[in-house]
């Protein structure tokens, strides 16, 4: 009998940021592959709405990843309710696009608190549970900005590069306990986080042209890469960063030489 390595039947998946965008798409995709989904978001109402759309295989709760105690409590309740925690996916982030010399200390603190420290809280809390039970998979969303940057993205890029190293370190520490930790680096995705860019026609067009596919990604196009990493198809994949960027980081420059 052929085993479908991409199925998630019997898995308990906590999807953080599931109230909208990529997180909502991943939550729905995980349920379609057979997982029991816990939809988590700072906006508990939005998380509940997504869970309702998924159906009886999903539940929801509010969670602020900036609050370490809340993260531990909510993920602990998932284990209490379901007996295990197989999958944790962490998608939330914020961005303030402005020159480095114009950044305020408060803006810097806000980005670090959510993007980097919040991701740390999730990895730490999930890691405690999963290393104790002897299995599990954690995926944290980084960005192409972990590797390439442009004006106005310095602080955001710093937090995303930090996530990559956090993931690598956690993978090295948790691996002996049967726990895998990976990162996904999206390119430009049509979500609320990129609305500022989409609303500027020239900026929107420039980002589309930078991708070798000449378009933005839809949130649903991040589902496959994410579910691959949490599935048995990726059972020997850990400590890696999977770029889902339409070729953004593969192509150097925007000029095609004559005759090509």
Distances (CA, A) of 13 to 36, 192, 200: 6, 24, 36
Of all helices (H) and strands (E), which one includes residue 207?
Answer: helix 201-210
Residue of 103, 156, 207, 236 marked active site: 156
Looking from the CA of 246 toward its CB, the CA atoms found within 13 Å total 17
SS3 letters across 97-129: CCCHHHCCHHHHHHHHHHHHHHHHHHHHHHHHH
Q: Which residue has the tokens 């700072």?
A: 42
DSSP codes joined into one string, 212-238:
TTSSPBPGGGGHHHHHHHHSGGGTT--
Catalytic annotation on 207?
no
* Active site amino acids: 156
């Amino acid at each position: 009998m052929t085993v479908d390595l991409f199925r998630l039947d019997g898995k308990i998946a906590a999807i953080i940021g599931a109230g909208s965008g990529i997180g909502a798409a991943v939550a729905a995709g995980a349920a379609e592959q057979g997982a029991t989904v816990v939809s988590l978001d700072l906006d508990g109402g939005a998380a509940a709405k997504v869970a309702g759309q998924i159906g009886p295989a999903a539940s929801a709760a509010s969670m602020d990843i900036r609050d370490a105690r809340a993260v531990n409590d909510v993920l602990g309740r998932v284990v209490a309710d379901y007996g295990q925690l197989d999958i944790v996916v962490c998608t939330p982030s914020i961005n303030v696009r402005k020159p480095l010399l114009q950044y305020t200390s408060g803006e810097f603190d806000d980005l670090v608190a959510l993007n980097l420290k919040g991701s740390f809280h999730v990895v730490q809390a999930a890691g405690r549970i999963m290393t104790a039970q002897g299995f599990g998979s954690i995926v944290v969303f980084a960005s192409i900005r972990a590797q390439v940057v442009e004006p106005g993205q310095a602080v955001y890029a710093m937090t995303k590069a930090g996530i990559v190293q956090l993931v690598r370190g956690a993978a090295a520490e948790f691996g002996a306990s049967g726990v895998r930790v990976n990162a996904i680096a999206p390119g430009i995705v049509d979500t609320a986080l990129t609305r500022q860019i989409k609303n500027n026609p020239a900026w929107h067009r420039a980002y589309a042209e930078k991708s070798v596919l000449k378009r933005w990604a839809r949130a649903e196009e991040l589902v496959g890469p994410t579910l691959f990493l949490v599935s048995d198809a990726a059972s020997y994949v850990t400590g890696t960063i999977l770029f889902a960027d339409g070729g953004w980081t593969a192509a150097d420059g925007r000029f095609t030489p004559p005759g090509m």
